[in-house]
Amino acid sequence: MMRYVLALDFGASSGRAMLAGFDGSRITLQEVHRFANEPVSKDGRLYWNVPQLMEELEQGLQAGYAIAPYESIAIDTWGVDYGMLGADGTLLELPRHYRDGRTDGILKKAEQFLPAAELYRRTGTQVMEINTLFQLLCQRDSGGFDQCATILPMPDLFAYLLTGTISAERSIASTTQMLSAETGTWDRELLELFHIPHRILPEIVESGTAKGTLSPEVQQRLGLPAICVTAVCGHDTQCAAFAAPAKTDKHVFLSCGTWSLFGTEPEQPVLTEQAAALGLSNEVGYGKRVTFLKNIIGLWLLQESRREYARQGKNYSFAEIETMARQSHEPSSFIDPDDPVFVPHGDIPKRVKAFCRKTGQHVPESDGAIFRCIYESLALKYRMALEELEACTGETYPVIHIMGGGVKDSLLCQLTADYCQRLVAAGPVEATVYGNAAIQMLALGILKTPAEARRCIAASESMQFYHAGAFPASSYEKYRTLLK
Ligand code: LRH
């Protein structure tokens, strides 16, 4: 007998509802609803359109149930953003988008409260301007928290709007930079240092537990029964990491979508000074498993460049972008993909050119050369991240599992294999959804162990393998010098 769950996966530019069925050995996925996630901009500020996203989510619930009566639903999203609820439980304002820019330059200010190295030692999280802690610091200085009864990370906010339950799932809570790496609870002392009231932080719950059921009001409105809403890893990255079809723990995963999350699964958090200096992050996954990873800006650079070219009347498909990059014969130039200039929306190609000019490199002329520069710079950054991970854990990882949208990009997969000099196993594209669905199935007892879940996911998809070609040594040397 087939058993079904519904996975709701929100990305930074689109979301979808996927029906996942399990026949006893394999998981099959069916997309039942897809929608755009368009941020709203108001008075120069950028917000997430929660009412519209809720409508889409509800359409997904109905479309899925019309196909198969699923037993549970769960939501995963990007990290760090949150909504604020008032005492009466209403959303005080639309949640701010992490690319809004309000946290630009905040790290300097944060140093007054606690030096970054100490912040890292306490939380184990890569210190990034967009993290919730710094967003709250801005909130403290603008509106304050008088009206705010609680904050809810995005996946928990959607779950709250369906169930009325207020809680934060651990994996998404670990992207806030407010969770103690030692105790796994909100770090009270740290909150005091930043003058953020502890009272606004919700109870933490584990992935794979029930959040509640659809509220009577939602049931009635949608014509659905009291379906269970499960807390999976609310953080999309952790759903993907969970789904890596790896045979051993000695692998690297590269969750490759808008962001590239390049990491591994050590036995313990790595809180050394070296890890802090290298900007590596300990984030929590299913069953409190630590993932040790680097947040790299990712395919955002290609996605946003594509949007910019479209604004200029040049509509390139992703396949065309890949071909143009392959065919570029201009001299190589590189960027640091993680330079803050590349974070905001806008004209990425122009910023790529400016970066190359400023660093005394050949300035790419053609659109293909811009794309080539982005591709190679990403693969080079992966190489550096691999070296950093291996230096910090003392391990060697023979295989890189690329998952997510990047799997479809054979140029990126091959460049990753070449620059990292490792075997690349590409797949599944839908890793996040597999992870979301498999964790629900574990919660329902349909799957018995995480290892069984990984085996089922591996059996449900075929992988593509990319073997390392010649190592582009001179490019790598040039890149290292550039980033020093
Ligand atoms: C990827 C991701 C990443 C970061 C960013 C904000 O979707 O979750 O891990 O946290 O979004």
Residue 458 CA to ligand 1 center (angstroms) comes to 24
| Domain stops at, among 206, 231, 256 | 231
Residue 127 CA to ligand 1 center (angstroms) comes to 13
Q: In this predicted complex, what is the ipTM?
A: 0.96
Nearest C-alpha to atom 11 of ligand 1 is from which residue?
A: 78
CA 6 to CA 64: how far, in whole Å? 7
Q: Do the Cβ atoms of 98 and 129 come closer than 8 Å? A: no
Answer yes or no: is the C-beta of 261 below 6 A from any ligand 1 atom: yes
Residues belonging to the chain: 484
pLDDT score of 360: 96
Nearest C-alpha to atom 4 of ligand 1 is from which residue?
A: 79
Is the residue at 189 inside a domain? yes
Residues of the domain holding 186: 3-231
Nearest C-alpha to atom 6 of ligand 1 is from which residue?
A: 79
Residues of the chain short of pLDDT 50, as ranges, are none
Nearest C-alpha to atom 10 of ligand 1 is from which residue?
A: 79
Q: Do the Cβ atoms of 33 and 55 come closer than 8 Å? A: no
Structure tokens that stand for 434 in this block: 């597999």
Structure tokens that stand for 79 in this block: 């990290």
Answer yes or no: is the C-beta of 432 below 6 A from any ligand 1 atom: no
Non-local (6+) Cβ contacts of 48 within 8 A are 37, 39, 40, 81, 94, 95, 96, 97, 154
CATH number at residue 405: 3.30.420.40
Around 389, how many Cα atoms within 13 Å sit in the side-chain half-sphere?
A: 30
**Ligand 1: which atom is nearest the Cα of residue 12?**
7
CA 58 to CA 66: how far, in whole Å? 12
Is the residue at 438 inside a domain? no
Q: Are strands 72-76 and 3-10 parallel, antiparallel or unpaired?
A: parallel
Nearest C-alpha to atom 8 of ligand 1 is from which residue?
A: 78
Q: For 296-354, how does the pLDDT look when each residue is reduced to its tens digit (9 = 90+)? A: 999 999 999 999 999 999 999 999 999 999 999 999 999 999 999 999 999 999 999 99
**Is residue 42 located within the same domain as residue 12?**
yes
Non-local (6+) Cβ contacts of 126 within 8 A are 120, 279, 280, 281, 294, 295
Per-residue CA distances from 71 to 20, 200, 225, 468 (Å): 11, 32, 10, 43
Is the residue at 443 inside a domain? no
Residue 257 CA to ligand 1 center (angstroms) comes to 9
Per-residue CA distances from 40 to 44, 60, 301 (Å): 10, 22, 21
CA 31 to CA 262: how far, in whole Å? 27
**Is residue 63 located within the same domain as residue 127?**
yes
CA 413 to CA 256: how far, in whole Å? 10
CA 402 to CA 464: how far, in whole Å? 10
Around 131, how many Cα atoms within 13 Å sit in the side-chain half-sphere?
A: 25
**Is residue 352 located within the same domain as residue 456?**
yes
Q: Do the Cβ atoms of 153 and 103 come closer than 8 Å? A: no
Is the residue at 12 inside a domain? yes
pLDDT score of 29: 98
**Is residue 48 located within the same domain as residue 185?**
yes
Residue type, 326: R
Structure tokens that stand for 177 in this block: 């930079």
**Is residue 210 located within the same domain as residue 267?**
no
**Is residue 334 located within the same domain as residue 289?**
yes
Is the residue at 237 inside a domain? no
Answer yes or no: is the C-beta of 98 below 6 A from any ligand 1 atom: yes
| Domain stops at, among 231, 254, 282 | 231
Structure tokens that stand for 390 in this block: 């291996």
Q: Do the Cβ atoms of 334 and 478 come closer than 8 Å? A: yes
Q: Is 236 a catalytic residue?
A: yes
**Is residue 185 located within the same domain as residue 273?**
no
**Is residue 187 located within the same domain as residue 271?**
no
Q: 308-316: long-range contacts (C-beta < 8 A, 24 or more apart)?
A: 308/346, 308/347, 308/348, 308/349, 308/350, 309/349, 309/367, 314/367, 316/367
Structure tokens that stand for 290 in this block: 């630590």
Q: Is 21 helix (H, G, I), strand (E, B) or coil?
A: strand
Is the residue at 358 inside a domain? yes
Non-local (6+) Cβ contacts of 99 within 8 A are 39, 46, 130, 343, 344, 345
CA 120 to CA 452: how far, in whole Å? 34
CA 48 to chain centre: 16
Residue 72 φ/ψ, nearest 5 degrees: -155, 155
pLDDT score of 143: 87
Per-residue CA distances from 398 to 1, 386, 446 (Å): 39, 11, 32
What is the dihedral sign for C-alpha 239, 243, 249, 253?
negative
Q: Do the Cβ atoms of 398 and 422 come closer than 8 Å? A: yes
**Is residue 386 located within the same domain as residue 358?**
yes
Structural domains of the chain, count: 2
pLDDT score of 248: 80
Beta bridge partners of 228: 72, 213
CA triple 361-365-366, angle to 5 deg: 135
**Is residue 175 located within the same domain as residue 293?**
no
Is the residue at 59 inside a domain? yes
244: left (phi over 0), alpha (psi -120 to 50) or beta: beta
CA 81 to CA 95: how far, in whole Å? 7
Q: Using CB atoms within 10 A of its CB, is residue 66 exposed (0-12), middle (13-18) or buried (19+)?
A: exposed
Answer yes or no: is the C-beta of 322 below 6 A from any ligand 1 atom: no
pLDDT score of 70: 98
pLDDT score of 249: 77
Q: Is 341 helix (H, G, I), strand (E, B) or coil?
A: helix
**Is residue 219 located within the same domain as residue 252?**
no
Residue 304 CA to ligand 1 center (angstroms) comes to 16
Is the residue at 441 inside a domain? no
| Domain stops at, among 190, 209, 231 | 231
Q: What is the DSSP letter of 97?
A: P
**Is residue 105 located within the same domain as residue 206?**
yes
**Ligand 1: which atom is nearest the Cα of residue 130?**
6
Q: Where are the beta strands (DSSP E) in 191-236?
A: 204-205, 209-213, 228-231
